[in-house]
Chains A and B, each alone.
Chain A
Amino acid sequence: MYDIKPLEEQWKAYHRKKRRPFYFIIIFSLFLFAGIYFLMNNKDTALEVLQSSPKQKNDTLKKHKSSVELIINHSLDQLEINEVEVSKKQMNPTEVIEDIPILEEEETSDIKRVKPIAKKKKSVRKKMHLNIIETSNVSAYKDVEKRFYQSHDIDDALFLAKAYFRKGDYKKAEYWALQTNKVNKNIDESWIIFVKSKVKQGRKNEAISILESYVQKSHSKEAKNLLSKLKK
């Protein structure tokens, strides 16, 4: 066979050509892993989104424990968390402690207390308890209302319902409880605020009939208790 050497050269060229995609894949994979490794190392210094747990809402007033303060860093436009020891004695009686989810995008200029904070590294999506100082400034509620209309976040609507109910503005409390129910029909708390607001406005019969139909669908204990109280 006289042409074996040229044939061998042709085969080598073919073999190199065939291997090319594998080399590209290997190089690409190396760059990808290097990139992921680099991102993983720098991830801990980034700010995280936190959420508070609604179940522990009632315990915050009673227990003496470390709580965190929500502070908004304007320059970074991010939320940073600082662990602060708070004792019962130091708490101002006018303060309202509330567990609400930490909101990432909006900031309110009406937060009174702003302290320099120490950065702390935490894992993302961990629920924390927050001390929120209530303000009489109406624009703060307007901001939350505006946010709700954009995002339809039920936590905002529920917060407004509860806030207005506490303030004694039962008409607005009823409205915001209704907005919450429109987004999610299964939240006991919003139904209870809705019914109570109606009762406070003198529409007891209407409140009872609404509560009766809710109890039939949900079989909620709290709703049943309220219903029995209203019927007395």
Chain B
Amino acid sequence: MKSRYEAAKNVFIDSIDTDDYIELDSSVTAYKQLQHSIDKPLKMILLFGKPGTGKSILLNRVAEKLKHQKEIYYFDTPATSEKEFFHKLFKVLTGQDLPKNTEVNFSALVNYCKGLRGKRELIILLDEAQMYGPDMMEKIRLLSDSRTVKFIVSLHKTEDEDLIAKEHFQSRIWEVIELHNATKEDQAAYIHKKLLKKNLFEIANSLKEKEMKLIHTFTKGNYRECNKLLFTLFEICEYYDTNEPSKINYERIPKRIIEMAAIKLGYIDV
């Protein structure tokens, strides 16, 4: 017999599928801000935040929503080489595939972009752009100078480095949008909405304010960490529901199980 918690567990599998996009106050604000920036005559827009703050899913959402209005392309995986990147860009610009062994002439590509100025405007969403080296980023900057291609670049904000200070961004980035971890209220809304989207009303109700507060304490509002914790939590609930039903309370998820999930993921050091 399938446990009710199996469906709940699957809700929190980490993905950037636009079907899983949840509208929260903070995400709606970020989306509107990004949409507004795209409409401005800017060359490059920087979207940055800690891992797990929702950058990829936001870019995906923007691409999905604007694909019928603008020429917008989402490069979700960074290219492993310059050659691969320019092959992708060439296809986007011309609609044609280049033979694999062909090297792209960068100057010709830039001139071609300049020739398209005023006729077309392409928006390229570059996710995980911290993977691109400085040379690559410099070439991306030169392409953006043509005004034919607009780049929206998504970066991790790490503890050790302040990417804004990097030289090749300082004079190039005209707009910076930062994403933060969720507040306690936003995260509670995120969890509830995700469960309600899959009609898991009773399970959504079994997570009360105190449990949400505890989850926020462990995950610090990070969406990725939240997905991991909830997945593990419902995995434990699924086990108890199947094998030891006396240890589970259907009306309210016991604090003990949340703490067990936190121990498993290393949030609590025993």
Contact = CB atoms under 8 A, between A and B. Distances in A.
Interface of A: 1, 3-4, 7-8, 10-11, 13-15, 17
B49 to A, nearest CB: 31
A1 B239 contact: yes
A14 B263 contact: yes
B239 A4 contact: yes
A1 to B, nearest CB: 4
Contacts of A3: 264
Nearest to B259: A11
B108 interface: no
Nearest to B236: A1
A1 B256 contact: no
A1 B235 contact: yes
Q: Is the interface of B mostly helix, strand, loop or mixed?
A: helix
B260 A11 contact: yes
Interface of B: 235-236, 238-239, 256, 259-260, 263-264, 268, 270
Given A7-B260, A7-B263, A13 B236 contact: no
Contact of B270 (A1, A4, A13): A13
Contact of B236 (A4, A10, A17): A4
A15 to B, nearest CB: 8
23 contacts: A1-B235, A1-B236, A1-B238, A1-B239, A3-B264, A4-B236, A4-B239, A7-B236, A7-B263, A7-B264, A8-B260, A10-B260, A10-B263, A10-B270, A11-B256, A11-B259, A11-B263, A13-B270, A14-B259, A14-B263, A14-B270, A15-B259, A17-B270
Contacts of B236: 1, 4, 7
A10 B256 CA distance: 11
A15 B264 CA distance: 15
B268 to A, nearest CB: 6
Contacts of A7: 236, 260, 263-264
A14 B235 contact: no
A150 B128 CA distance: 80
Contacts of B270: 10, 13-14, 17
